[in-house]
Chains A and B, each alone.
Chain A
Amino acid sequence: EGQLLESGGGWVQPGGSLRLSCEASGFSFSSYVMHWVRQAPGKGLEWVSSIVEGGTVTYYEDSVEGRCTSSRDNSRNTVYLQMNSLRVEDTAIYYCAKGSGRGDFDIWGQGTMLIVSS
């Protein structure tokens, strides 16, 4: 059974930067698209970014486009989300999720909390 473990969350002031990490185990990491999904406190789920298997193509939600960069290191089974120019509205739990190959997410991490506040 595959597992995902996020890290890197914390408290950041508006305008600051942070890098989230997600380490995978139990499946062939390099064979799957990986995703980031966030959930603001008390709110629903919001897709943030996707990165294809080789890392050559990335996709972003409009509100993070230009401020966030997804990358992956297949030798370390790890995907990253670099977040810059952080805003208060970026405050959320950030989940890493494995793409199933069918357009959905079949394995989720436990999430890492990012708080953007002055």
Chain B
Amino acid sequence: DGGITQSPKYLFRKEGQNVTLSCEQNLNHDAMYWYRQDPGQGLRLIYYSQIVNDFQKGDIAEGYSVSREKKESFPLTVTSAQKNPTAFYLCGSAGRLWGNTIYFGEGSWLTVV
């Protein structure tokens, strides 16, 4: 089935540790995105990539890093520099043509204790 797979669904980490969230898509989409959602809030853009080996910072990129070595994959690393990492993380992908829709994975819950 075509879609976006995020893993793991739930992740617990100790403060000070880096953690990497996986995002894989088989929709042949060029663009991929990472958003963060905090309770009662909307989706805030962390990073996005329009093409392999290129990515841009979103509104809240500090404390995060990404890579785009393959079209299908866009992993997000939450570093120890991120002050409030506990959140729900959403990965999305979209085509690059006008009028395209962004589709999302099931999300990953990260809890830092």
Partners in one complex: no
